Amino acid sequence: MFYTKLRNRLNQIKANGMTLTFEEDMFADRGKPLQVEANMYDHVVIKGLSPIRKENGSEDDYYIFNDIENMGLISYIPKYITNPENFADPVRNKEIHSEAHKVTYRAYVTFKTGYKLLLKDKYGVN
């Protein structure tokens, strides 16, 4: 979803004759390149859900294990996994196996670099 929105916005910028440039400021820190810095403040691992929300069921369709406080993990196990008939069918068994390996990782991270994104209109003005 984020990628689609970003791509659409970049295409809109391009259609308007604007350019987006990426450059390094070699003199950002008193005449020297800026030391790169990254800080992670929080994260969570979500297992069992697709990052495409439309593909997921409701909360009632899952057994939910939530250990976000200690481990930063939420696990969604589909309730249909308890039906033994699903494992007798080889095709369904492969589907269950592939669905069990869906993992989404979300992190709150800040970056400090000497890189800049410049948006210029069709006249070259920032």
Is residue 107 in some structural domain?
yes
Question: 81 is written with which tokens?
Answer: 């996994």
Amino acid at 6: L
Question: 51 is written with which tokens?
Answer: 């990052």
Which residue range(s) make up the domain with 70? Answer: 27-113
Residues 102, 45: contact at Cβ < 8 Å? no
- Write the DSSP assignment of 62-102 as a string of letters: EEEEEETTTT-EEEEEEGGGG-THHHHSHHHHHHHHHHHT-
Confidence of residue 119 (pLDDT cuts 50, 70, 90): confident
pLDDT tens digits along 45-94: 888 888 778 888 888 988 888 887 777 888 888 888 888 887 788 888 88
Is residue 55 in some structural domain?
yes
Residues 92, 27: contact at Cβ < 8 Å? no
Q: How far apart are CA 63 and CA 65, in angstroms?
A: 7
Instruction: Tell me the average pLDDT across 96-104.
Output: 80
pTM: predicted TM-score of the whole model, two decimal places:
0.53
Q: Which residues pair with 112 in a beta bridge?
A: 37
Our count of domains for the chain comes to: 1
Picking from 45, 84, 77, the residue whose alpha carbon sits closest to that of residue 61 is: 77
Is residue 32 in some structural domain?
yes
Is residue 74 in some structural domain?
yes
Is residue 18 in some structural domain?
no
